[in-house]
Amino acid sequence: MLKQNDMVARQLRDRFRAAGVFVVSMVSSPGSGKTTLLEKTLTLLRKSYRVAALVGDLATENDAQRLARSQAPVQQITTGTLCHLEAAMVERALDAWKLEELDFLFIENVGNLVCPSSYDLGENLRLVLISVTEGEDKPRKYPTIFNSADVAVVTKTDLAGAVEFDWGAVSESIQAVRPGMQVLRVSAKTGEGMGSYLEFLAAQRAESCVAKIEV
């Protein structure tokens, strides 16, 4: 028996695939830089792709307002007391949009390294962000979220020197919980790593089944 969320997520995945939209979700602790990276991502990708974003928080429309500066369509989902997004919330939020008119849909989950891990949102790619200011051992402390994600993104690399970030230690920590996991590095502030990160997203979309059914 599938959990109720898994059933809705499966329907969402089918809809995304049929519409040809590639869906990327972002999970991390609060303050790791999800919104900052997403605002940059939307601004840059929108030159070549049709992009939109959903963003979850317990309260406020703050992140949606920040993301809307990219000029991309954005919707805030407020969860009240819930520490994660559920597939049904994503489904409801999508009522207002025609999915066939999108190439990329981004979903910023509620900032939390625990709850979001067990909720499939029907996404094609789940990114787990870890900022250099959080310490290198977070993957070992929160293995489930790293196991539920496809790729790790180390953020705020411009601050790495200031906090004496140990790249070897974070790499060991990630590989200990998820052997072979791909790790990207970005600074949304300076733009370092943004080019490779955007190329990675475009390549993932091109390789996915959503892109294949377009042709």
Written as six digits, the tokens of 47 are 């030159």
Task: Identify which of residues 7 and 82 has a Cβ nearer to ligand GDP in the complex.
Answer: 82
Q: At what angle do helices 194-207 and 34-45 cross, to 10 degrees?
A: 70
Site residue total, Mg ion (CB under 5 A): 3
Find the part of the chain contacting Mg ion (CB under 5 A) among 16-24, 61-69, 152-160, 162-170.
61-69
Choosing among ligand GDP, Mg ion, none, which partner's interface includes residue 189 (Cβ < 5 to 8 Å by kind)? Answer: ligand GDP
Considering the complex, what minimum distance in angstroms separates the CB of residue 204 from ligand GDP?
Answer: 21
Q: In sequence order, what E strands does 80-181 have?
A: 104-108, 125-131, 151-155
**According to DSSP H, which parts of 25-162 are helical?**
34-45, 62-68, 87-93, 138-141, 143-148
Binding site for ligand GDP (CB under 6 A): 28, 30-36, 111, 155-156, 158-159, 187-189
- The contact mask relative to Mg ion for 33-52 (x = CB under 5 A, - = no) is -xx-----------------
Distance CA 61, CA 81 (A): 15
C-alpha triplet 44, 155, 188: angle, nearest 5°: 30
Binding map of Mg ion across residues 140-169, x = CB under 5 A, - = no contact: ------------------------------
Which residue number has the CB closest to Mg ion?
A: 35
Amino acid at 24: V
